[in-house]
Amino acid sequence: MIDYGKMLSKTVCDIKPSGIRRFFDMLSEMDDVISLTVGQPDFVTPWHIREAAIESLEKGKTYYTSNAGTSELREEISKYMKRRFNLEYCGKNEIIVTVGGSEAIDVCMRAILEPGDEVILPVPSFVCYGPIAEMIGAKVVKIDTKLENSFKLTADELRSAITDKTKLLILPFPNNPTGAILTEDELKEISEVLKDTNIAVLSDEIYAELTYGRKHVSIANIEGMRERTIIASGFSKAYAMTGWRLGYLCGPEPLIKEMLKIHQYAIMCAPTASQFAAIEAMRNGDEDVEMMRNEYNRRRTFVLNGLRKIGIECFEPEGAFYIYPNIAPFGLSSDEFAERLLYEHKCAIVPGTAFGDSGEGFARISYAYSMKHLAQALERIELFVKSLKNR
């Protein structure tokens, strides 16, 4: 008999499977559930972008591109970063086109971290950073961001988490699941802590286009930070292109050069048709992004006000497309709250614990749904909350 335990890498086997899988399995077995769990846009990729990919296929552009992506696309990304965020990256040697923002994160972490190194991670945040660090053998030092700080990372918290083993700070803002952002002033304070160190920053800016009320500022915009910052971003959220699997890394040449090796051997290059679509997105997609941002903002206001009216305490998210309500006052754990809402009222939300222990007492609500869908969901949540209060 084969002993698979001996066959497989212990490091990989030790990674805990996500608890949310069970919840999603329950969800998929039920009918007529109104779900607010999906973390991707409900828009279809704009037609002119899809058309660009179709045209590339019609013309037989089915080859590998260069490892870092077509020079045309890297040039467009360079122009886009300048136009939208006033950041300068050279298309030739400071940009890699990746398979989604996810690969960008993986490549960046693998290029920087070694076994025993420490990586600082503000939580709650997207679920991939911890397991990637574990696979490398690096230690994750979590910082619990707090409701009273609007789920922002503070300079003091960062300072006290740094040791002589710290190699990397992950900066996942605008944040999934909280919707928190960091302003220029807050980034400056964080920069003060970092400036005399050798700590690199992985700034995950996948939601940079989806901020409401104020424009996104990157830590790379802060004086002295560009040379230590790697930006991971992509097309999924801004252009509703999740299935195209296309992202990018921007950073200083000495770092990008090494990251390119990992990308080269693991991936070769990002899908060619997706790259042609992405060129069109960056050239002619600003209006689409604007339209979707406005629509998300309308929904954000609707759900936020709706939840508050029902009597659920909510921090006002300024970015991404999630609301992260505080459900602790109802006296149920996050998992209980989510499971009972699902079973008793057929409405699905993600328990905060899916994003780590710090998510206890919270839940994530995605508003990447039609207004009608959101209105129905709010009605169900209201019924549930009333039933809890009446007990």
User: Rule CB under 8 A: which residues touch other proteins?
Assistant: 18, 20-21, 24, 27-28, 35, 37-40, 42, 126-127, 176, 242, 298-299, 301-302, 305-306, 309, 350, 354, 371-372, 375
Cβ atoms 96, 86 nearer than 8 A = no
Residues in Cβ contact with 65 at an 8 Å cutoff, skipping those fewer than 6 apart: 97, 269, 270, 272, 275
Cβ atoms 151, 324 nearer than 8 A = yes
Closer residue to other proteins, CB minimum distance, 24 or 330 = 24
Geometric angle at alpha carbon 343, from 342 and 348, rounded to 5°: 10
CB of 376 to other proteins, least distance (A): 11
Tally of CB atoms within 10 A around 42: 17
Hey, what are 329's tokens?
């006052």
CB of 38 to other proteins, least distance (A): 5
CB of 249 to other proteins, least distance (A): 19
Nearest C-alpha neighbor of 34 from the set 371, 301, 286, 362: 371
Three-class HEC string of 156-224: HHHHHHCCCCEEEEEECCCCCCCCCCCCHHHHHHHHHHHCCCCCEEEEECCCCCCECCCCCCCHHHCCC
CB of 315 to other proteins, least distance (A): 16
**351 Rama sector, left if φ>0, alpha if ψ -120 to 50, beta otherwise:** beta
CB of 354 to other proteins, least distance (A): 6
Q: How far apart are CA 351 and CA 334, in angstroms?
A: 5
Closer residue to other proteins, CB minimum distance, 38 or 141 = 38
CB of 312 to other proteins, least distance (A): 14
Closer residue to other proteins, CB minimum distance, 259 or 354 = 354
Closer residue to other proteins, CB minimum distance, 350 or 363 = 350
Q: Please provide the DSSP assignment of 101-128 as one string.
A: HHHHHHHHHHHH--TT-EEEEEES--TT
CB of 382 to other proteins, least distance (A): 12
- Upstream peptide bond of 177 is cis (omega within 30 degrees of 0): yes
Q: How far apart are CA 212 and CA 321, in angstroms?
A: 10
CB of 47 to other proteins, least distance (A): 12
Closer residue to other proteins, CB minimum distance, 284 or 305 = 305
- What's the residue count for the chain? 391
Closer residue to other proteins, CB minimum distance, 86 or 294 = 294
Closer residue to other proteins, CB minimum distance, 160 or 305 = 305
CB of 41 to other proteins, least distance (A): 9
Tally of CB atoms within 10 A around 144: 14
Closer residue to other proteins, CB minimum distance, 27 or 155 = 27
Closer residue to other proteins, CB minimum distance, 187 or 307 = 307
